[in-house]
């Protein structure tokens, strides 16, 4: 790491676990983090107790000043940030749109660790959308922020192949690690102003819309490959679902068998030790991890040991 990168006065802004990984990496590498911005504490758990974000927990564990403005519409909040006299602000899944006054406050502006290979998948849910679309690869882009939504110049990219078994949760963890490393790699060039700024090609951009719970409903008329992409792309949230005897059955993991089936889509066509086989519009879906109402998610093998009678051949899923 260059001396100039070590000397940077860095503000960090982020909220979830993905961002906490980058903050930990900065601190472990000995960077000078002078303050941390994160979303206000939110109610969580059954008791709806106000809970600090993962980023706030890391900040407090390291005795860093924490700032939690609701937004930056108040002049007081803008001035507080400006008075910190930062050289650089690093933004990772913060959850707030930053106005121009904030983007311009640090001497070197604001950079973002974004979980896609920009310009593909700008927006809130790039990891999930890459899986749902059947992309072969994704990655992380370190980007100079501007007033657009993930439209700024690209400073550094690191690729990550998407393998067939990946869920959003697993891909999230891989990209958090890749993002942390990419961030550290980018800082010397940012500090020395030697890093290349590559303008995005807007014509290649896709918008990664925020996920909605309703997207989890399985349409068994779709192909087995499309359904399994949906299931993996929505695990661990919001989780794909269907109905069994009028109750919600959540599906956490599945594989596609493209062997043709003549059964009506949504019909259980068999079970083995590991899976429940369900006919789809094209091929069969092997349900490998499921969640019955009032229960936790379990390997299908364990469910079949005690509740096999629920999944007899000919049972139709998705019937209200």
CB 92 within 8 A of CB 38: no
Q: What is the mean pLDDT of the chain?
A: 96
| pLDDT confidence of residue 44 | 83
CB within 8 A of 139, min separation 6: which ones?
116, 117, 157, 158, 159, 160, 175, 178
Predicted confidence (pLDDT) per residue in 57-96, tens digit: 999 999 999 999 999 999 999 999 999 999 999 999 999 9
| 74 compared with 319, residue with greater pLDDT | 74
Predicted confidence (pLDDT) per residue in 215-233, tens digit: 999 999 999 999 999 999 9
CB 107 within 8 A of CB 81: no
Q: 3-state DSSP call for residue 301?
A: helix
Q: Which CATH number fits domain 3-208: 3.40.50.2300, 3.40.50.170, 3.70.10.10, 3.30.70.120?
A: 3.40.50.170
| pLDDT confidence of residue 288 | 98
Burial of 82 by CB count in 10 Å (0-12 exposed, 13-18 middle, 19+ buried)?
middle
| pLDDT confidence of residue 150 | 96
Confidence band for 320, pLDDT divided at 50, 70 and 90:
low
Say what the alpha-carbon torsion angle 35, 36, 41, 42 is, to the nearest 10 degrees: 170
Cα gap 271→103, rounded to integer Å: 56
Residue 299 has pLDDT above 60, yes or no: yes
Residue 127 has pLDDT above 90, yes or no: yes
Residue 1 has pLDDT above 70, yes or no: no
Topology, domain 213-311: 3.10.25
Give mean pLDDT, residues 294-304. Answer: 96
| pLDDT confidence of residue 2 | 53
Percentage of residues of the chain with pLDDT beyond 90: 94
| 291 compared with 44, residue with greater pLDDT | 291
Give mean pLDDT, residues 101-125. Answer: 97
For the chain, the maximum distance between any two Cα atoms, rounded to a whole number of angstroms, is 69
Give mean pLDDT, residues 112-125. Answer: 97
CB 22 within 8 A of CB 54: no
User: Rounded to two decimals, what is the model's pTM?
Assistant: 0.94
Residue 196 has pLDDT above 90, yes or no: yes
- Which among 254, 245, 238 has a CA at the least distance from the CA of 290? 254
CB within 8 A of 170, min separation 6: which ones?
none
Domain ranges across the chain: 3-208, 213-311
Q: 3-state DSSP call for residue 40?
A: coil
| pLDDT confidence of residue 152 | 97
Q: What is the DSSP pairing of strand 240-244 with strand 247-257?
A: antiparallel
């Amino acid at each position: 790491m260059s001396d100039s990168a070590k000397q940077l006065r860095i503000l960090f802004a982020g909220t979830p676990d993905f961002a906490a990984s980058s903050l930990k990496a900065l601190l472990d590498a000995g960077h000078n983090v002078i303050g941390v911005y994160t979303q206000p504490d939110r109610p969580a758990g059954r008791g709806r107790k106000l809970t600090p974000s993962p980023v706030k927990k890391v900040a407090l564990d390291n005795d860093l000043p924490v700032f939690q403005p609701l937004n930056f519409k108040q002049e007081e909040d803008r001035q507080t940030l400006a008075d910190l006299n930062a050289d650089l602000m690093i933004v990772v899944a913060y959850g707030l749109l930053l106005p121009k006054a904030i983007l311009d406050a640090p001497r070197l502006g604001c950079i973002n660790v974004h979980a896609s290979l920009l310009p593909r998948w700008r927006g809130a849910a790039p990891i999930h959308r890459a899986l749902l679309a059947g992309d072969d690869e994704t990655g992380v882009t370190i980007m100079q922020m501007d007033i657009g939504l993930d439209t700024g110049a690209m400073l550094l990219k690191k690729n990550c192949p998407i393998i067939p078994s990946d869920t959003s949760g697993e891909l999230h963890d891989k990209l958090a690690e890749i993002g942390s490393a990419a961030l550290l790699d980018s800082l010397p060039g940012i500090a020395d102003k030697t890093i290349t700024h590559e303008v995005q090609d807007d014509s290649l951009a896709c918008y990664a819309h925020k996920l909605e719970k309703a997207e989890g409903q399985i349409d068994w008329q779709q192909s087995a490959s499309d359904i399994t992409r949906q299931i993996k792309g929505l695990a661990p949230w919001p989780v794909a679902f269907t109905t069994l005897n009028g109750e919600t059955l959540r599906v956490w993991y599945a594989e596609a068998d493209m062997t043709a089936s003549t059964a009506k889509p949504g019909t259980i066509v068999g079970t083995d030790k590991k899976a429940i086989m369900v006919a789809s519009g094209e091929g069969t879906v092997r349900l490998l991890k499921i969640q019955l109402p009032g229960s936790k998610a379990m390997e299908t093998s364990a469910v079949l040991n005690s509740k096999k009678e629920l999944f007899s051949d000919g049972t139709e899923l998705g019937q209200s």
